[in-house]
Amino acid sequence: MSILIEPIGIVKNTRKDLSDDYWGAIISEIELLPHVPAEAFDGIETFSHAEIIFQFNQVDKNKIVFAGHPRGNKDWPSVGIFSQRKKDRPNALGLTIVEIVKQEGNKLFVKYLDAIDDTPIIDIKPVMKEFLPNSPIKQPEWSSELMKEYWK
């Protein structure tokens, strides 16, 4: 089975490198591609946050792993790829909840998008509290340690 997905937009920002941390100061512009009209953003400014689905288009297919130590840190347990959020994934898809800064024409400006410049955008969905977890979020201690510098 195969799935064909066409990007709907592209990320524009100052981040060129693939490093993991310090995403907090980056403001990203998501520009819709020509086949998607600006009207697709109508009403987006009434939401504070959006979910962005994007493709890790610079992932080396030979580096995809199904288990291992997050970021190669042997102090953390070896876990499966579906228990971590690394970019070297089977389908190279990323998902992040961003804060909407503003929308202008066919451009959406967002904060907290951990995607580098020229990353293809697959889809954008508004965040509605009813889709957020209804129960407490649980995660292992190593994941909090991993994320401590991520949004700085």
In a domain, 113, yes or no: yes
DSSP assignments along 97-148, one per residue: EEEEEEEETTEEEEES----TTPEEEEEEE--GGGS-SS-----HHHHHHHT
Domain assignment present for 22: yes
Total count of domains within the chain? 1
The reply to whether 3 falls in a domain is no
- Vertex 23, ends 17 and 27: CA angle to 5°? 95
For 32-63, the pLDDT digits (tens) are 999 999 999 999 999 999 999 999 999 888 98
Asked if residue 89 belongs to a domain, the reply is yes
CATH number at residue 47: 2.40.30.70
Q: Give pLDDT tens digits along the chain (152 positions).
A: 999 999 999 999 999 877 777 678 889 999 999 999 999 999 999 999 999 999 999 988 898 889 999 999 999 999 999 999 988 999 999 999 999 999 999 999 999 999 999 999 999 999 999 999 999 999 999 999 989 988 88
Q: What is the domain range of residue 87?
A: 9-147
Residue 152: inside a domain: no
pTM: predicted TM-score of the whole model, two decimal places: 0.91
